[in-house]
Amino acid sequence: MVFLSYSYLFLFLPGAVLLCRASVTRAALRTPALLLTGIVYYSLAAGLPQLALLLAMTFVTFKGVGELMTSPVASRQRLGLMVVVADLAVLAAFKLGEAGILGPVGRVLPLGISFYTFNLVSYGLDVRRRQTAPAPSFLSLAAFSTFFPTVAAGPLLRYGHFREQESGARRLDAELLELGALSLIVGLAKKTLVADPLGAAIEPLFADYERLGLDAWLAVTGYAYQLYFDFSGYTDMAIGAAALLGFRLPPNFNAPYTAVHITDFWQRWHMTMSQWFRDYLFLPLSRALLRRRPSLDGADGVRAVCLVFTMVVIGLWHGATWSFLAWGLFHGLLLAGHARLRLARGFSIPVGVSRALTFVAVLVGWVLLRSPSPGMAARIWGAMAGLHGWGASSLHSRGPLLAAVIVLLVATNAPLERYLLHAGRSAFRSWALAVLLVLALLSMGARRPFLYFQF
Amino acid sequence: MDAARVREELRAFISRTLIRDPAYPLRDDEPIITAGLIDSFALAELAVFIEREWQVYIPDPDLTVDRMNTLDQIVARVLEG
């Protein structure tokens, strides 16, 4: 069972909302109710063995952090590190297993392991930094790690934020209910009406990539929007489900393809992940390296090293393959280059040009994510550079239609999303949402899995 | 700790080392992060500078736009200790 099933939308979700809402006034039942919904969802979506792994990792983290709090101050650093390393080791083993590096071991990546591991790691680190109080019970931490709206693909959560909302007053909030319903409809529509049809339209282009010419731009731009609508659609549905349960989740996207430079892009794309890496890797690493320097002047080399290292780790978090590593390295170099340009005095380009350049840079990077081999990526880049003419793909008869759809998406995606989610109430908007809902529900039969489930 | 001296030393450091323009007329309430004058790495540089100058450790979670966006906010955080 995933978000895109009738059983989830019409059976599980209403049941979970009713159960959690019924426990609003009974503090002792809130956490068990949340945990129960999380366990039922995850066991149906991923199976009991994967649920056992998730609960085991949660238990180890809970016990480890408990030990940390009762141990002498001198050994806390070491203990905290051990908890984090234990969680990350499990994640790394599965990532390496999935990539075939460990032979037949761990070929199947447990659902959401990249996300729930990072949630548990941030819990351990936040408690160690005394930024968050330890979970009062294993049930509370398990309710956090199995929280069904986010367990499969985020957004990444911080335990302190979750606990605040779990233990706080959760009255029936009309604004949250409206946010929940709107986000569910918009998310469902993004996935079924845009991401999936777009994915189906461009798939033949990638399958036949050796015949691509300049039409590779069409394929890669289509993929960029498929990825965005797929992942942000999932995120909207997660935000919607959480809101119906009384939780406000952090935003994960902010019109990323309108970014005016590559740093701006990373402040708009998968925001909870960027913030996670900033807080737990980039800043500590930067500070540690800066402390070793006698002077803080001219630390551009340190900045570049930290940016590239962080982005390579972000790439590998997606998967232990050459393409993710290269994608992370590519973005790390872009960020380091942008930092140098930003600091260069007297350098500026018009906003429209920098927005277009940023979009093109992001597209060049997406080729790596879409290509299972370096040869395929090189061939597509060559096609985009015009080395293979106009292209002779089998899609040519439908090419203009696809191009028109993609141009429309580029032009309308951000304002349309703002209108549907944040505009004031109006009859037109209500009708638009109702039509979207009906069309989305009718389109659910031919669904494809969410792209970010593979991470 | 002399608040006025802390303010001027921070102003000089931010202009010279982080913005790379010693003559930059940085105002007390001017947003330096949201205006794009400095990035996350510059916040790390700022934190290490504060550690060295006044032995005040600012935890990573405090290095945010909500708490370190203006000279006023940074001075207040340093004086907080």
pLDDT tens per residue across span B49-72:
999 999 999 998 889 889 999 999
Closest by Cβ to B48, choosing from A263, A279, A291 = A291
Site from A129, A283, A311 to mutate, B interface, most B CB atoms within 10 angstroms: A283
Instruction: Please state the pTM of the whole predicted model.
Output: 0.91
A109 is a domain residue: yes
A322 and A436, same domain (yes or no): yes
Nearest to A114, CA basis, from A36, A176, A54, A34:
A54
Name the residue in chain B with its Cα closest to that of A282: B41
A414 and A430, same domain (yes or no): yes
Name the residue in chain A with its Cα closest to that of B16: A297
**Residue where a domain terminates, one of A155, A171, A187:** A171
Instruction: With beta carbons under 8 A apart, name residues in chain B contacting A282.
Output: 40-41
A222 and A310, same domain (yes or no): yes
A432 and A348, same domain (yes or no): yes
Nearest to A115, CA basis, from A83, A85, A147, A139:
A147
Is some CB atom of chain B closer than 8 A to the CB atom of A129?
yes
Q: What is the per-residue pLDDT for A298?
A: 78
A337 is a domain residue: yes
Annotation marks residue A422 as catalytic: no
Which of A261, A270, A318, A331 is catalytic? The answer is A318
Angle ∠(A151,A314,A47) on CA atoms, nearest 5 = 25
Q: What is the per-residue pLDDT for A227?
A: 93
How high is the ipTM of this complex?
0.93
Site from B21, B40, B57 to mutate, A interface, most A CB atoms within 10 angstroms: B40
Q: What is the per-residue pLDDT for A158?
A: 95
A206 and A111, same domain (yes or no): no
Is some CB atom of chain B closer than 8 A to the CB atom of A346?
no
Looking at per-residue pLDDT, the higher value among A399 and B33 belongs to B33
Is some CB atom of chain B closer than 8 A to the CB atom of A303?
yes
User: Which residue matches tokens 């349309």?
Assistant: A416
Instruction: With beta carbons under 8 A apart, name residues in chain B contacting A342.
Output: 36, 39
- The answer to whether the Cβ–Cβ distance between A278 and B40 falls below 8 Å is yes
Nearest to A150, CA basis, from A82, A63, A243:
A243
Site from A296, A302, A303, A343 to mutate, B interface, most B CB atoms within 10 angstroms: A296
Instruction: With beta carbons under 8 A apart, name residues in chain B contacting A335.
Output: none
Which residues does chain A have with pLDDT short of 50?
none
Name the residue in chain A with its Cα closest to that of B39: A339
Is some CB atom of chain A closer than 8 A to the CB atom of B39?
yes
Is some CB atom of chain A closer than 8 A to the CB atom of B49?
yes
Distance of CA A319 to the CA centre of its chain: 13
Name the residue in chain B with its Cα closest to that of A293: B48
Dihedral angle sign, alpha carbons of residues A22, A26, A27, A31: negative
A288 and A266, same domain (yes or no): yes
pLDDT above 70 for B79: yes
Q: How many CA atoms lie within 13 A of A127 on its CB side?
A: 28
Q: Dig out the tokens for A341 from the structure.
A: 């340009």
Nearest to A338, CA basis, from A252, A269, A265, A271:
A265
Q: What is the per-residue pLDDT for B81?
A: 81
CA–CA gap between residue A127 and residue A67 (Å, rounded):
12
Q: What is the per-residue pLDDT for A345?
A: 65
Amino acid identity at A114: S
How many CB contacts within 8 angstroms connect chain A with chain B? 51
Is some CB atom of chain A closer than 8 A to the CB atom of B22?
no
Is some CB atom of chain B closer than 8 A to the CB atom of A354?
no
**Residue where a domain terminates, one of A115, A139, A171:** A171
**Residue where a domain terminates, one of A142, A171, A200:** A171
Architecture of domain B3-80: Orthogonal Bundle (1.10)
A388 is a domain residue: yes
Distance of CA A440 to the CA centre of its chain: 22
Is some CB atom of chain A closer than 8 A to the CB atom of B45?
yes
pLDDT averaged over every residue in chain B: 93
> How many distinct structural domains can be found in chain A?
2
A132 is a domain residue: yes
A306 and A421, same domain (yes or no): yes
A203 is a domain residue: yes
Q: What is the per-residue pLDDT for A294?
A: 87
CA–CA gap between residue A108 and residue A88 (Å, rounded):
17
pLDDT above 80 for B73: yes
A154 and A189, same domain (yes or no): no
A328 and A398, same domain (yes or no): yes
Print the domain residue range for A158.
6-171
Closest by Cβ to A283, choosing from B21, B44, B49 = B44
Nearest to A186, CA basis, from A376, A418, A379:
A418
- The answer to whether the Cβ–Cβ distance between A339 and B59 falls below 8 Å is no
A235 and A371, same domain (yes or no): yes
A372, A228, A223, A3 alpha-carbon torsion, rounded to 10°: 70
CA–CA gap between residue A414 and residue A417 (Å, rounded):
5
Distance of CA A255 to the CA centre of its chain: 14
A117 and A97, same domain (yes or no): yes
Q: What is the per-residue pLDDT for A104?
A: 60
Instruction: With beta carbons under 8 A apart, name residues in chain A contacting B43.
Output: 283
Name the residue in chain A with its Cα closest to that of B36: A342
Q: What is the per-residue pLDDT for A454?
A: 67
